């Protein structure tokens, strides 16, 4: 019995030892050689986190007797992060920075404890893609731009989250560089890029656009965007002669078919050679193209020949129709007429109605001696007759002042909204007679051009706007306004002006004028008194204003008045109301030369894409000297427009209404034939 008891006891000891060993107890709970094990912290560093992104890390220890209990012995964790007793450090950090030194304590089941070393927890700022615009590229030309981001770890992996890059371009995932040679001209929208940092935090760009231009010729591929409604245009310019004393106007209407064809239209031209009236456009030999960049070409053929034009259109309206744009005569040979003007979508429902109601008008042009001309006034149209005609005119310093009581007649309109009209006024020794052609745009706007011989009247053209006699009070002018104008001083020296003015709605106003006279730029303050005639809407200005006379417009197209000067330059312009904030918004804009003062003024037309502080785009330029026509010229630069609408565009003086920017195409003081360029959304 003693032997059996000994054997059993020995077996139990061995068995318990085996079980303890099998459970791994000797590594953490047993003493080896009689020495007790204590815990130690094995975590020596903590992973970084990102603001606004869930964070989780687990502290680790060895030795001692499990389970462990953790606590923060010293230091403060980042806001939004907490420590659980099981050693989990988690939460969503709300601010960037580095927390530390942090000392964590671990306590085992036997109440033995140990401290970590001095640790830190870095929280990186939010990853943000800072690239907000992509520069345009040119088909067949190498392209290289790098995306940029801030925040996170500072090391990013780039990817294209949505959209497709132009054929020939690729994105480097390590550097964010977009490189290659684009093979297709188009506008590529909806490009969204993602930057992922080393801690998997991501930043996503806003949808970006990239425009790839063709190198020569006309943009095409988006002809359907022009629709199939008629468009009217008015171009003022000059024919090429040895003396450049050949003013001309070209006005008309054409109807696109949405596929590059022209279904019909007509033109009216006037020049020293005489007027050519109601020339039918020949559809079989007329056409147009329009690219996705909103630039296009137009070929119009009549019995008088073929003309080639470049045009651009701005942002579509709510019905996805382009309502306005700029247009320019091509002069690739150097022997053709040169000029620029406006393009307007016609309201088909208004074409048959013709003229009706009261209008204010402004016509500008050039006389037979190359003097600048401007006339502004108002009239009432009804039943084929004009009544209550009032006007002021300036023909290179020869004035017709405050002429009232005039009349005239006008015809009904044809299919394209075209009609003829004549004005007559005799008062106080003044006699004024003018024959014109007109094209209806809509119920509130009409294009006019003179049809008289140059020997009889200056060749001129312009617009008439619906107005309202109930607004013929000083209180109507109670806002901030922008004005721009063109004149011509003696010796064939063009003069362009920009003006900002604020009226008090009673009788005074103040602002500033910037003038560029043949490349010399100067600015002066403007202080003015004014009064409004209740019958004609005539505004009389006194003081240092841009012009002494104006006529009230009922806010058509943002225009509040038309203005005409009384000096040799015969500066004429419109007064346009400024929006509450005149900083232009991002988007696609049509650009074009406003009015040519003489033949030597360069013309341009194109489209620009504006961001908050820069623009880029393409333009077509008609020059008086070689190269006579430059197509698809890529340009980019900065703009700076304050909330009051003043600033610079392309490094030149500029004013903004909020939807239209006007800047002087000065060229750093070297352009002796400057022009006003309008940038229209």
Condensed to tens digits (0 to 9), the pLDDT of residues 337-358 reads 999 999 999 999 999 999 999 9
Residues 198 and 102 in one domain: no
Q: What is the maximum alpha-carbon separation in the chain?
A: 156
Our CA angle for 635, 637, 640, nearest 5°, is 145
Residues 397 and 353 in one domain: yes
Alpha carbon of residue 352 to chain centroid:
35
Coil, helix or strand for 266? strand
Residues 89 and 146 in one domain: no
For 20, the enclosing helix (H) or strand (E) is helix 2-22
In a domain, 554, yes or no: yes
CA–CA distance, 549 with 653 (Å, rounded to integer) = 25
Contact 489, 569 (CB under 8 A): yes
Four-residue CA torsion sign, 166, 167, 171, 177: negative
In a domain, 35, yes or no: no
Residues 134 and 108 in one domain: no
Q: Count of CB atoms within 10 A of residue 270's CB?
A: 28
148: tokens are 């940029």
428 vs 34, more confident? 428
Residues 487 and 389 in one domain: yes
Instruction: State which of 374-378, 627-631, 635-639 shows the largest mean pLDDT.
Output: 374-378
Residues 430 and 569 in one domain: yes
* Strands 559-564, 357-366: pairing kind: unpaired
pLDDT over 90 percentage in the chain:
66
- Give the model's pLDDT for residue 667: 53
Say which residue the tokens 């986190």 belong to.
49
Beta pairing partners, 33: none
* DSSP, residue by residue, 405-440: EEEEEEPPP-TTSEEEEEEEEEETTEEEEEEEEEEE
- Give the model's pLDDT for residue 215: 63
Domain stops at, among 516, 544, 577:
577
Contact 178, 135 (CB under 8 A): no
pLDDT in tens, 471-528: 999 999 999 999 999 999 888 888 999 999 999 999 999 999 999 988 888 999 999 9
Q: How far is CA 264 from CA 209, 305, 351, in A?
A: 35, 15, 15
Number of separate domains in the chain: 3
In a domain, 639, yes or no: no
Domain stops at, among 213, 243, 259:
213
Beta pairing partners, 450: 436
* Average pLDDT score, the chain: 89
In a domain, 265, yes or no: no
Domain CATH number, residue 113 = 2.60.40.10
CA–CA distance, 139 with 186 (Å, rounded to integer) = 9
Residues 514 and 488 in one domain: yes
In a domain, 136, yes or no: yes
Q: Count of CB atoms within 10 A of residue 197's CB?
A: 20
CA–CA distance, 462 with 236 (Å, rounded to integer) = 9
- Give the model's pLDDT for residue 216: 62
Query: Given pLDDT bands bounded at 50, 70 and 90, which one contains residue 43?
Result: very high
Residues 205 and 84 in one domain: no
Q: Count of CB atoms within 10 A of residue 104's CB?
A: 23
Q: Count of CB atoms within 10 A of residue 85's CB?
A: 11
Residues 369 and 505 in one domain: yes
For the stretch 643-652, contacts whose Cβ atoms lie closer than 8 Å and that sit 24 or more positions apart, written own/partner, are 643/581, 643/582, 643/583, 644/480, 644/500, 644/578, 644/582, 645/480, 645/482, 645/500, 645/578, 645/582, 646/500, 649/615, 649/679
CA–CA distance, 612 with 641 (Å, rounded to integer) = 9
217: tokens are 């010729």
In a domain, 331, yes or no: no
For every residue of 278-326, which 3-state class applies, written as one string?
Answer: EEECCHHHCEEEECCCCEEEEEEEECCEEEEEEEEECCCCCCCCCCEEE
Query: Given pLDDT bands bounded at 50, 70 and 90, which one contains residue 669?
Result: low
Residues 186 and 63 in one domain: no
Nearest one of 491, 669, 677, 520 to 602, comparing CA atoms: 677
Domain stops at, among 577, 601, 627:
577
- Give the model's pLDDT for residue 32: 40
Alpha carbon of residue 510 to chain centroid:
29
Residues 65 and 203 in one domain: no
Our CA angle for 44, 49, 50, nearest 5°, is 165
69 CB burial (10 A radius; 0-12, 13-18, 19+): middle
Q: Which domain holds residue 501?
A: 346-577
pLDDT in tens, 235-294: 999 987 766 679 999 999 999 999 999 999 999 999 999 999 999 999 999 999 998 889
In a domain, 4, yes or no: no
pLDDT over 70 at 59, yes or no: yes
In a domain, 318, yes or no: no
Residues 188 and 76 in one domain: no
CA–CA distance, 553 with 560 (Å, rounded to integer) = 5
pLDDT in tens, 550-608: 999 999 989 999 999 998 999 999 999 998 888 888 888 999 999 888 888 889 999 99
């Amino acid at each position: 019995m003693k032997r059996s008891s000994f054997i059993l006891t020995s077996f139990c000891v061995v068995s318990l030892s085996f079980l303890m060993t099998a459970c791994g107890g000797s590594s953490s709970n047993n003493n080896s050689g009689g020495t007790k094990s204590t815990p130690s912290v094995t975590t020596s560093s903590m992973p970084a986190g990102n603001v606004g992104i869930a964070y989780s890390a687990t502290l680790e220890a060895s030795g001692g007797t499990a389970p462990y209990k953790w606590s923060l012995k010293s230091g403060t964790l980042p806001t939004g992060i907490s420590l659980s007793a099981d050693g989990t450090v988690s939460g969503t950090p709300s601010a960037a920075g580095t927390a530390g030194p942090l000392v964590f304590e671990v306590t085992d089941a036997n109440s033995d404890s140990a401290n970590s070393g001095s640790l830190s927890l870095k929280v990186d700022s939010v990853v943000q893609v800072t690239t907000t615009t992509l520069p345009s590229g040119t088909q067949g030309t190498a392209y290289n731009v790098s995306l940029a981001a801030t925040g996170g770890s500072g090391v990013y992996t780039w990817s294209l989250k949505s959209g497709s890059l132009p054929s020939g371009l690729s994105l480097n995932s390590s550097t964010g560089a977009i490189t290659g040679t684009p093979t297709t001209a188009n506008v590529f929208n909806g490009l969204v890029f993602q930057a992922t940092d080393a801690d998997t935090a991501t930043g996503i760009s806003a949808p970006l656009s990239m425009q790839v231009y063709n190198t020569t010729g006309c943009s095409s591929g988006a002809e359907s965007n022009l629709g199939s409604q008629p468009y009217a245009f008015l171009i003022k310019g000059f024919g090429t002669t040895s003396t450049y004393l050949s003013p001309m106007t070209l006005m008309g209407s054409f109807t696109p078919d949405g596929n590059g064809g022209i279904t019909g239209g007509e033109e009216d031209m006037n020049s020293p050679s005489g007027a050519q009236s109601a020339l039918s456009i020949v559809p079989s030999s007329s056409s147009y193209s329009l690219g996705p960049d909103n630039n296009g070409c137009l070929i119009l053929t009549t019995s008088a020949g073929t003309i080639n034009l470049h045009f651009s259109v701005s942002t579509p309206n709510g019905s996805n129709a382009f309502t306005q744009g700029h247009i320019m005569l091509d002069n690739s040979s150097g022997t053709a007429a040169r000029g620029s003007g406006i393009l307007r979508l016609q309201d088909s429902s208004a074409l048959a109605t013709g003229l009706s109601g009261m209008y204010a008008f402004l016509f500008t042009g050039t006389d037979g001696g190359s003097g600048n001309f401007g006339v502004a006034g108002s009239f009432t149209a009804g039943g084929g007759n004009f009544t209550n005609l009032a006007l002021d005119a300036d023909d290179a310093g020869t004035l017709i002042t405050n002429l009232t009581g005039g009349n005239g007649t006008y015809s009904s309109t044809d299919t394209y909204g075209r009609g003829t009209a004549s004005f007559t006024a005799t008062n106080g020794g003044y006699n004024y007679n003018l024959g014109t052609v007109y094209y209806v745009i809509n119920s509130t706007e009409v294009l006019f051009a003179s049809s008289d011989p140059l020997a009889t009247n200056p060749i001129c053209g312009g617009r008439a706007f619906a107005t309202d006699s109930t607004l013929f009070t000083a209180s109507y002018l109670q806002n901030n306004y922008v004005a721009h104008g063109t004149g011509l001083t003696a010796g064939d020296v063009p003069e362009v002006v920009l003006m900002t003015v604020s009226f008090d709605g009673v009788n005074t106003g103040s602002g500033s004028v910037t003038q560029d006279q043949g490349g010399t730029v100067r600015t002066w303050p403007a202080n003015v008194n004014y009064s409004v005639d209740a019958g004609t809407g005539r505004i009389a200005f006194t003081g240092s204003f841009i012009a002494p006379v104006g006529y009230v417009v009922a806010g058509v197209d943002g225009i509040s008045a038309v203005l005409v000067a009384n000096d040799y330059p015969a500066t004429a312009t419109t007064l346009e109301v400024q929006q509450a904030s005149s900083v232009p918004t991002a988007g696609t804009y049509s650009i074009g030369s406003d009015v040519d003062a003489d033949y030597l003024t360069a013309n341009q037309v194109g489209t620009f894409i504006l961001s908050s502080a820069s623009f880029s785009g393409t333009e077509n330029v008609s020059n008086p000297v070689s190269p006579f026509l430059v197509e698809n010229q890529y340009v980019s630069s900065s703009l700076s427009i304050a909330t009051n609408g003043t600033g610079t565009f392309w490094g030149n003086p500029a004013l903004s209404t909020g939807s239209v920017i006007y800047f002087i195409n000065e060229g750093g003081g070297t352009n002796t034939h400057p022009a006003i360029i309008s940038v229209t959304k």
